[in-house]
Amino acid sequence: MEENVKTIEQREQVENSACGCGSGGCGCHDEDHGHQHQHAHQHEEQHACGCGSGGCGSHSQQQADLPIRFQILREGDRVVEFGSGTGNDVLAASQMVGPSGKVVGIDLSEKNIQTAREYTDQLRVNNVEFRQGDIADAPLPKEYADIVYANCVFNLQKDKQKVADEMYRLCHHNGLVCVSDFVIMHDIPEGLRLEGAQLAGCIGGAEKINDFMDYFRRTGFEHVEIVEMKKVHLPDDVFKNHLSDEELLQYKDVKSEKGIFNVTLIGEKPGTCSPDTCCCNPDKHKN
């Protein structure tokens, strides 16, 4: 396994799963983030995940329980979702944070925002908000959120580093980032990745797993870990144009570490600097 990938041995649980987006949500308060982060790991060991038959970006019912599966969003948390679509995940998270918390969804599509607001009005939910905007330049103030998460939208961005930087800007100190998307483990034929992108657009932007993690390390997040991963199973006819029979058998082996994987990443923004032990660069991440 490549560097810093947390082996959870979930592959047997998802061996028969279709291609789909993993999803994870999480929240924190400064004083006990470590306990909650550990809880997330334990919870993920027990549950497979994916966005179901709807595929990436479809916001199916299974995808919509993203924050709830981790069971660590707490009442009063402020949460931001990048690429909120029609708002299913936002509404699910709103139940966890309660009336004293708030969940904000950001999406570039005016139609998605309109639909999400209509759903919210129908359900009379008062602790959510939807804002139209580019997630690389989010319409929110710095250090706004306890948790910023994105499900299968990171790989679609032209400037991924800018999006990771924006997640860092929005997190308060000790806040969490949680991102689910596709990555590549070891080398695979470029044509295979491109054909996979025809089935799920975010596969097209998939990079090697350490490159994916480095976006978040570079911007300043600490304790960046992969807390969940599952192998993507594409139709056989996609493979036949790019792999020999032997390579196909190796790729389809559930224990093989080569291929396209859906992963969930979590990282933590460092705590506030003190005069005695400065932990960060004061010139970094200015608003």
**Which of the residue ranges 56-60, 93-97, 191-195, 249-253 would you say has the lowest mean pLDDT?**
56-60
105: in domain: yes
Query: For residues 9 and 117, which has the higher predicted lDDT (pLDDT)?
Result: 117
Q: What is the per-residue pLDDT for 94?
A: 92
The verdict on pTM exceeding 0.75 is no
Tell me the mean pLDDT in the region 156-165.
Answer: 96
**The two structure tokens encoding residue 189:** 């034929």
Q: Is 53 helix (H, G, I), strand (E, B) or coil?
A: helix
Number of structural domains found in the chain: 1
Tell me the mean pLDDT in the region 33-49.
Answer: 36
242: in domain: yes
Q: What is the per-residue pLDDT for 61?
A: 39
Cβ neighbors of 67 (< 8 A, separation 6 or more) are 25, 26, 27, 73, 79, 89, 92, 93, 96, 149
State how far the Cα of 139 lies from the Cα of 17, in Å rounded to an integer. Answer: 37
Q: What is the per-residue pLDDT for 70?
A: 55
State how far the Cα of 243 lies from the Cα of 225, in Å rounded to an integer. Answer: 31
Tell me the mean pLDDT in the region 4-22.
Answer: 35
46: in domain: yes
79: in domain: yes
Confidence class of residue 68 from pLDDT cuts 50, 70 and 90? Answer: low
Q: What is the per-residue pLDDT for 72?
A: 63
For 99-155, what is each residue's pLDDT tens digit? 999 999 999 999 999 999 999 999 999 999 999 999 999 999 999 999 999 999 999
CA atoms within 13 A on the CB side of 161: 7
pLDDT at 75 over 70: yes
**Which CATH number does the domain housing residue 193 bear?**
3.40.50.150
Structural domain that includes position 72: 30-268
Q: What is the per-residue pLDDT for 179?
A: 93
102: in domain: yes
For 214-271, what is each residue's pLDDT tens digit? 999 999 999 999 988 888 877 777 777 777 777 777 777 767 787 889 999 999 999 8
State how far the Cα of 7 lies from the Cα of 54, in Å rounded to an integer. Answer: 27
228: in domain: yes
Q: What is the per-residue pLDDT for 53?
A: 27
For 167-210, what is each residue's pLDDT tens digit? 999 999 999 999 999 998 887 777 776 766 666 667 878 899 99
Q: What is the per-residue pLDDT for 63?
A: 44
2: in domain: no
86: in domain: yes
Q: What is the per-residue pLDDT for 238?
A: 73
Q: What is the per-residue pLDDT for 269?
A: 97
* Block residue for tokens 């649980």: 13
**Nearest CA-CA partner of 45 in 233, 230, 182, 260:** 230
